[in-house]
A and B are shown apart, each in its own frame.
Chain A
Amino acid sequence: MKLELRGITKRFGALVANDHIDLVVEPGEIHCLLGENGAGKSTLMNVLYGLYRAEEGEILLDDEVQHFSGPGDAMRAGIGMVHQHFMLVPVFTVAENVMLGHEETNAIGVLDIAAARAKVREISDRFGFDIDPDAVVEDLPVGVQQRVEIIKALSRDARVLVFDEPTAVLTPQETDELMAIMRQLKESGTSIVFITHKLREVREVADRITVIRLGKVVGEASPSASNAELASMMVGRAVDLTVDKAPANPGADAFVVTDLSVIDALDQYVVKDVSFTVRAGEILAIAGVQGNGQTELTEAILGLQPRVSGSITLDGVELVGRSVRRVLDAGVGFVPEDRTEDGLVAEFTIAENLMLDRSTGEPFVKAGALQLKTLEEFAEAKLEEFDIRAQGISTPAGRLSGGNQQKVVLARELSRDLRLFVASQPTRGLDVGSIEFVHTRVVEARDSGIPVIVVSTELDEVTALADRIAVMYRGGIVGIVPGDTPREVLGLMMAGETTGAAA
């Protein structure tokens, strides 16, 4: 089916998320929509799927103008979507999820679960998936859940399939398999819109590429274009994709984790028997697919997890059992993975956010009273030093862009006298310019001679920053390998394979 978008414009208040976007997807083609986070890709697709109503423009399928008032209309017209955050009910079975919304029933509304099972089996056989229709979705690995999303779309006879950042949660191997599925779908005549900001994937699978920047189409590119060309189109200027860093000059073992286990509220081990050491002046990157215990590990280091066993020592001082306050006082700097949730108080000003971790005493508090003058001078200096683009230090942190918010967090955490720096997903959702800035700062922290831990699900970031790489899988460390380990090996380790994990 041919899909055409003409002059789509979508505004949110004063913000123009999509500005007269035109896009044509021919039948049986994989069309990549490339753009940075916040460029307006997802907004455009939500318009196509009927979740948003566009102010201007029209959607055509096989040259017929469509009027969607909701996702139901879009689906009936043959549009399917694999969402970035899966639209699956976790406690339902695969079959229940697939039939939801277009259930086959008898006269009094009793579900025909057998028909739904058969449908799941039929589609999953067609594409060589091995999926049990009666499995409960939350028990399935993320990669398999994504296949359930694909089955769900195909069961509604989707002939245009939109993949919204589908690889964010996948291992490199699962990504390869997804690419193969996309090609297979294309051969069966399905048109595919593939939204991503990862250049490698685009070049591998796309027939055509449309680049979007700040809500506008900035041009088309051919899949044979180089990474640097695509990146500069996406960002609007030439970008340096590598991180400048001198070889590490590691000192003694400064940070030692021994047999660390964390148990969550559902009595499950989320981190089990993890041991590693980080030397002073070294970056240890913790790689792994989202949800394999990295979050809980960093939270355990900071004292945020209630049920922790094992030992964590920093310069010989035991951290397990200490309160967060006392862990911070031991010299731990921490960049949490969700800056809006855990890193900042959105309603507070930049200045207030900069002193959040030092509200107990001097220099910002004396005899219970805030030292506003000291704080002001400090905040002004940090604004300058960290190049935070804001109207002033009294701007609420919530009004800043993602990159500037992250700079505020970094400024706060790096302005104390640190003995250890932990950064969790430090560049998630940031633009290329901010990523460069954050990476430089992380390397600087290392060069100041303290141990640094970077947790990241992006292999590019891991290989760019790491001196050594620890790969986590299902709560354990599969292996610790040198920083120059090939991506393929890392990819296998992220899927739990121990091959090559010698070091």
Chain B
Amino acid sequence: MTTTTPAAPIVHETAVVRSWKAPIAYGIFALVGVLFAFVFPATGDTLFELSTEREAIQLAPVAVPTQSAVIVAALLLVGLTGLSAFFVASRRARSPLWLAIVFTVLFLFAFLTWVAADKTIPVPGLLVGSLALSVPLIFGALGGVISERSGVVNIAIEGQLLFGAFSAALVGSITRQPLLGLVAAMVGAVLVSFVLAAFSIKYLVDQVIVGVVLNVLVLGLTSFFYSKVLVPDAATLNNPVKFDVLPIPLLSDIPILGPVLFRQTIIVYLMYIAVFLVWFALFKTRWGLRARAVGEHPQAADTVGISVTSTRFWNVSLAGAIVGVGGAYYTLDVVGQFGKDMTNGAGFIALAAVIFGRWDPIRATLAGLLFGFATNLQSVLGIIGSPVPSDFMLMLPYVVTIFAVAGLVGVSRAPAADGKPYIKS
């Protein structure tokens, strides 16, 4: 007998380990919903404003009776929690993804309705602001995905964003050309990448340490030049020409989403293209196959004649260029001038988006949007005035980040050689 037919009774099977993490998490949020509905009821109507005055197609604001809406939503939340517990208890499956999405949307609706009782929620404003906050996160996350897929942990996203913002402001002010500012942002961030790449790939210094040090270095450098050079001469050195808003005909007239997505500057349009391109290139092209091979099993790549060090070096540099665009968004679009430490930790949130998105460009983008939304929600609620203390609301984006990364992702698998230097023996 030369062929073997495995006839053994034992098969590699997945142990259905009942993880109660998801139902417990849902339970906590459902409880919060119940508190909104019954213990601290809010009365009156909540007005959801759906379009601003600038739009061609006007939608009438929708008024929702606060208390009954919150009660209905809370009961649904409890039901979903029960459903999730049922899934886990019946050992059939883990809690499905659609449940997480429905639950999140429902909870947000309940929360917004309750918080804004007798007030108005400006839905377009909420979404526009969310996207604005998401743009740097998404560029940062895309750079992180490319870099980590190639096997280099990129903690320096924060530094790259900040240096990109600084370079764009400086060059954009001097040349009066926003496009040159954009190029400068990319170049600036690539310079940060070069340092990261050189130390971690060539000199095998711990990638996390180099990244952290680079963040501190960039913060120090930009702060120094900001106060010594930019501030004294702000009119000429920190006054870049911003990109113009370019509404896309027809698309920008779509109710609600049109103005949010398609009445933007070129940087945001670049982002749409970049998300698709990074995804496509990573999974469909030779470049992507080699990048992933180098990040998963560098020795295998080496033995088929792929240079691990140069692949990693150039991919980390490319990642820097992409992050740089995100930096330019601060100074050439949304803010319009450089400020000390203006990225304020966005790079770290982007890093969380990379992990939450499981090193996938599309998922990381969605994660970036979620984090952007959470951040903006906090400021919108601050403006309309909410019963929740504003200091407490400031925690919201970070609570969402921790909850998302720790609670919902579960065990996610990083590229196998992520963070490990390749030492050719």
Contacts and interface: CB of A to CB of B under 8 A. Distances in A.
Contacts of B299: 87
A91 B296 CA distance: 8
A101 B3 CA distance: 33
Given A109-B286, A268-B12, A171 B4 contact: yes
A234 B326 CA distance: 63
Contact of A497 (B4, B13, B287): B4
A267 B8 contact: no
Given A100-B293, A474-B11, A475-B10, A89 B300 contact: yes
Size bracket, chain B contacts: 35 or more
Interface stretch (B182-190, B220-228, B301-309): B301-309
Contacts of B297: 87-90
B8 A497 contact: yes
A492 B300 contact: no
A101 B294 CA distance: 11
A265 B411 contact: yes
Contacts of B1: 173, 492
Given A91-B296, A109-B286, A476-B8, A83 B303 contact: yes
Contacts of B10: 272-273, 473-476, 496
Given A87-B297, A111-B285, A111-B286, A101 B13 contact: no
A473 B293 contact: no
Contacts of A180: 2
A269 B300 CA distance: 29
A498 B289 contact: no
A173 B2 CA distance: 6
B212 interface: no
Contacts of B307: 70
Contacts of A474: 6, 8, 10-12
Greatest chain A CB density within 10 A among B9, B289, B307 is at: B289
Contacts of A49: 303
A126 interface: no
Interface string A77-94: 000010100111111100
Given A89-B296, A100-B304, A109-B285, A269 B4 contact: no
Given A176-B2, A263-B17, A266-B411, A478 B301 contact: no
A72 B302 CA distance: 8
B60 interface: no
B273 interface: no
Interface string A94-126: 001101111101001111000000000000000
B286 A497 contact: no
Given A101-B306, A474-B8, A90 B286 contact: no
A327 interface: no
Contacts of B13: 268-269, 272
Interface in A47-72: 49, 51, 70-72
B283 to A, nearest CB: 9
A383 interface: no
Contacts of B292: 89, 91-92
A292 to B, nearest CB: 9
A497 B5 CA distance: 7
B344 interface: no
Contacts of A75: 304-305
B284 A92 contact: no
Interface string B1-43: 1111111111111111100000000000000000000000000
Contacts of A476: 8-10
Nearest to A52: B425
A108 B285 CA distance: 8
B93 to A, nearest CB: 13
A105 B15 contact: no
Given A103-B286, A497-B7, A88 B300 contact: yes
Contacts of A89: 292-293, 296-297, 300-301
Interface of A: 49, 51, 70-73, 75, 81, 83, 86-92, 96-97, 99-103, 105, 108-111, 152, 171, 173-174, 176-177, 180, 263, 265-269, 272-273, 473-476, 478, 492, 495-498
8 tightest CB-CB pairs across the interface, nearest first? A72-B305, A101-B304, A476-B10, A496-B8, A496-B6, A495-B4, A87-B300, A103-B286
11 contacts: A70-B307, A72-B304, A88-B297, A92-B292, A101-B306, A103-B289, A110-B286, A265-B411, A268-B14, A273-B10, A497-B7
Given A90-B296, A109-B287, A111-B289, 16 more contacts: A70-B307, A72-B305, A81-B303, A87-B297, A89-B292, A92-B296, A108-B285, A109-B285, A152-B304, A171-B4, A173-B4, A263-B15, A272-B10, A476-B9, A497-B4, A498-B7
